[in-house]
């Protein structure tokens, strides 16, 4: 959300592993066969992001991720998300 609490359409969300800072491997399909280049998804017109999958084999439950949210003319934001 922006500084006024509104969802941000067209922002990029990049997934990192919290403990190492390395890009997390995320997938565009449920079969986990197509990795998303750069571990980046883009928010839709409602500011929501979906269409990504995370492998239980790669990251067990309770893995912490750092999500970096960015968009031109926006201050940006970093969030922690625990799977």
- pTM for this prediction: 0.90
Residue range 10-50, pLDDT digits in tens: 999 999 999 999 999 999 999 999 999 999 999 999 999 88
Neighbouring C-beta atoms of residue 36, cutoff 10 Å = 18
3-class DSSP assignment, residue 17: strand
DSSP per position, 40-66 = EEE--TTS-----B--TTTS-TT-EEE
Residue written as token pair 């201050």: 75
- Measured in whole angstroms, how far is the alpha carbon of residue 46 from the centre of its chain? 16
């Amino acid at each position: 959300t922006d500084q006024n609490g509104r969802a941000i359409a067209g922002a990029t969300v990049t997934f990192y592993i919290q403990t190492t800072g390395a890009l997390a491997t995320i997938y565009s399909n449920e079969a986990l066969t197509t990795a998303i280049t750069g571990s980046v998804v883009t928010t839709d017109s409602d500011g929501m992001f979906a269409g990504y999958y995370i492998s239980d084999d790669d990251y067990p439950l309770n893995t912490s991720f750092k999500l970096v949210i960015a968009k031109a003319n926006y201050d940006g934001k970093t969030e922690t998300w625990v799977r």
